[in-house]
Copies of this chain bind each other. A is one copy, B any other.
Amino acid sequence: MHLFYTPAIEPSCQQYFLTEEESKHCARVLRLEKGAKLQLIDGRGGLYTASILDPHPKRTLLQIISVTHNFNKRNHYLHIAIAPTKNIERIEWFLEKATEIGIDEISFILCKRSERKEVKTERLNKVVTSAVKQSLKAYHPLLNEPINLNKLLTQPFEGQKFIAHCEKTGKTSIDAELKTGGRYLILIGPEGDFTTDEIDEALQYGFKAITLGESRLRTETAALEACFEVNFLNRKG
């Protein structure tokens, strides 16, 4: 069954018009006809089944058959704040993989040693949306605009806060600290790592320093490792 991402739909909807772009894709590209069944996700946990009432190429009308709320809702909330890499493709595949595995929110932090200061979140959001559809996620991860690290540090966050840095000392493993079923914010530094000042400031704001193992990991690999660990520990917990 073909899947559409329709953030505008509401659980109360009996019928729903696809957007012009979606209608074109549905009626012209996929050539779906009246009566064909579709799946819709709203990005907020809603998974809908619908059938086509009118396969109009600009305003396809759907009849909503059923809706499942909180589809595959996870038992935790993961927010990863990562310094964008020089090669943006590395961030793109992190977003794809993290979406497949399970993530709720991503922020791009600008650090002292960041090699990249600009991020086209609109384009990256398309990568996330396509991963959401490919892996049948009813929840669409939230992508935030780039923010300076020191500003992010001062923002309130209800949950456990971690910083993964490459300095040798003063770190614990995440599984020793993580409380399952919780909310987590994890900071991943740039290619050149966080500066000592940045780490100290994060610790002052209640972030706990964690290690992601002995291997020397690229920025995007470290972020994915953190994503894997949080989901794995919550699966077991």
Contacts and interface: CB of A to CB of B under 8 A. Distances in A.
Contact of A235 (B134, B137, B213): B213
A93 interface: yes
A158 interface: no
Interface stretch (A10-18, A97-105, A178-186): A97-105
Interface in A70-102: 72, 93, 97, 100-102
Given A175-B236, A236-B175, A231 B213 contact: yes
Interface string A198-237: 0000000000000001111110010011001101100110
B101 A235 contact: no
A35 to B, nearest CB: 27
Interface residues of A, number: 27
Contacts of A221: 97, 100-101
A66 interface: no
Contacts of A72: 214-215
A135 interface: yes
A153 interface: no
Given A135-B217, A215-B135, A235 B97 contact: no
B225 A101 contact: yes
Contacts of A97: 221, 224
A192 to B, nearest CB: 14
A53 interface: no
A67 interface: no
A173 interface: yes
Interface of A: 72, 93, 97, 100-102, 134-137, 173, 175, 213-218, 221, 224-225, 228-229, 231-232, 235-236
Pick the 8 closest A-B CB pairs, nearest first: A228-B228, A135-B216, A100-B221, A136-B216, A100-B217, A97-B221, A213-B235, A100-B215
